[in-house]
Amino acid sequence: MHKINKFFKSFFFISIWLILFASIEKYWNLFHWEYIFLKGRYIFDYEVWFTLKNIFFGLDIGYFVEEIFRFLSYELPKESFKFIPIYFYLKHIWLSQKNN
């Protein structure tokens, strides 16, 4: 019976957290676009990336670095904020020895 209780607590927390996060995610998109990505994007507009493209026989290094920048500044924090609280809460629930 205790495991069923833990399961329902986990299920409700995950459901509520993901629904809440889905409504907050649009604000993260706007914040990231305006304050992070557009502020750092100007680095990839320099002539050095076109020079590197010519040196590496048409391989656009700037594009790949820009995509890595976008991943590290957008996807990684977003997914971390989404799943790290779930991990810690589930760890707390399932490893607690209290009989609720």
Q: Is 76 inside a domain boundary?
A: yes
Residue 90 lies in a domain: yes
CB of 99 closer than 8 Å to CB of 62: no
State pLDDT tens for residues 4-56.
Answer: 999 999 999 999 999 999 988 888 888 888 888 878 777 777 777 788 888 88
Domain assignment of residue 34, yes or no = yes
Q: What's residue 26's pLDDT?
A: 85
Task: Quote the pLDDT of residue 59.
Answer: 83
CA 41 to chain centre: 19
Has residue 100 been placed in a domain?
A: no
Say what the pLDDT of residue 15 is: 95
* Residue 13 in domain: yes
**pLDDT for 99:** 56
The number of residues making up the chain comes to 100
Model confidence at 1, in pLDDT bands (50, 70, 90)? low
Domain of 9, in residue numbers = 2-95
Residue pLDDT, tens place only, 44-95: 777 777 888 888 888 888 888 888 888 888 888 889 989 999 999 999 998 8
Output the pTM of the full model. Answer: 0.67
How many domains, in total, are found in the chain? 1
Q: Are 82 and 21 in contact (CB under 8 A)?
A: yes
